Amino acid sequence: MNRAELGVDGMVHWLDDPAHRRFLVRDALAALQFFDASIGSDGGFQTLDLSGRPLPAPLELHVTTRLVHSYALGHLAGRADEAGIIDRGMDLLWRAHRDAQHGGFVWSVQDGSVADGTKLAYGHVFVLLAASSAKLAGHPHADRLLADIAQVLHDRFWDDSAGLLCDEFTRDWQPFSSYRGMNANMHGVEALLAAHEATGEGEYLRRAGRILDFFIAGQAAAHGWRIPEHYDAGWSPDPGYEGNPMFRPAGTTPGHSVEMARLLLQHWDLAGRPDTDAPRQARLLVETALADAWLPGGGLAYTLDFDGRVARPDRYWWPVTEAIGAMAALIKIEPWPADEDWYRRLWRFADATLIDHDCGGWFPEPGAEGRPGTGQFLGKPDIYHALQADLFPLVPGLSQHARTLARARPLKS
């Protein structure tokens, strides 16, 4: 990959620059080629180290689902699923992760057995995302999976009085905590919007809107355009909560703010671009996150205190990818001069620090002296965030990415 072709200077937006668009295509193709090795010798999926060798680890639900979703997007964009990731993933979801005894989907499996039977909203919404993307890609078993997961989410996780998703149960659906969280609901919005795009059913769009209203017009607006991550059973923010350092860190997470901004604009677009405050709210989320979290050496701090001060300065790949997607969305609707600068700055940092130009895919975190870090992650966790950062800027709209990619087929050789 020629770094000189990242883009050109001048008045042309990089979204429209042929050199930058070729760069995006090459990066997407390199990542898909790297993650083709995700199918293990036993027919399941395997986590890959930085060079693409398998790592011993249980197969977690979000890994299976994100692979299905990502390869469905790649297929729609014109790159054949040469390794059979979509078929294998759909089989694993139905045969291995799906709990035939209690219903729903277990968190992780290993060697043909359940490793962790916890039922998490976070994992279940990714099943809805995978089923929706597989349906858009024409998979023959997508409707079966979509019907099953939609019913489970409705029966077990959806709190209609609050218009939000509850978080966690034991394998046999006993509640074991009063925790409520933004992360599962944010990815719930993502999945609900994909399900609406795949089926046309308005209830998916309505529920996504209720979640967005609570966290953005409600919580973000009341907290300086930073979104509290953690809540109690009554959906009041719990500022003292700290859980899993990856999925539930203390404080606020600027990467989630930019992700929610992009999803807010996607919902607004699907709703017919009504005369609402959504574009302004999205911009406030993005500008606040970048002002708070961009570090002197580049990259976004992982977490902030509630006043916007950096709490954990760890620099992971996924907040950069989500900031790219959010900035691309803002440029598409009403570009401000600073937007182009931020879009280029984010890609330049990714190109110099995060993208693996030798093997394909992105390093999950930069380490010292230009080497990839190994603090929080083993290997390359997934293709999902980075592939979307490559593909979403290639289409002109804010929504219906899958259908637009299928028409344009930018990855077709």
Residue 210: helix, strand or coil by DSSP?
A: helix
Number of folded domains that form the chain: 1
Residue 395 has what pLDDT?
97
Give domain status of residue 5, yes or no.
Answer: no
Known catalytic residues? 256, 385
Give domain status of residue 61, yes or no.
Answer: yes
- Please, what is the end-to-end C-alpha distance for the chain in angstroms? 16
Give domain status of residue 273, yes or no.
Answer: yes
- Residue 75's domain comprises 13-408
Residue 328 has what pLDDT?
98
Give domain status of residue 126, yes or no.
Answer: yes
CATH code of residue 221 = 1.50.10.10
For residue range 84-106, what is the model confidence (pLDDT) as tens digits?
Answer: 999 999 999 999 999 999 999 99
Lookup: tokens for 373: 């870090």
Q: Give the CB-side neighbour count of residue 223, counting CA atoms within 13 A.
A: 26
Percent above pLDDT 70 for the chain: 95
Give domain status of residue 6, yes or no.
Answer: no
Residue 3 has what pLDDT?
42
Percent above pLDDT 90 for the chain: 88
d(CA 200, CA 195): 8
Q: What amino acid occupies position 65?
A: T
Give domain status of residue 3, yes or no.
Answer: no
Tell me phi and psi for residue 32, to 5 degrees. -60, -40
Give domain status of residue 7, yes or no.
Answer: no
d(CA 128, CA 165): 13
Q: What share of the chain is helix, strand, coil (3-state, %, to 5)?
A: 55, 10, 35
User: Got the DSSP string for 124-176?
Assistant: HHHHHHHHHHHHHTT-TTHHHHHHHHHHHIIIIIEETTTTEE--EE-TTS-B-
Give domain status of residue 1, yes or no.
Answer: no
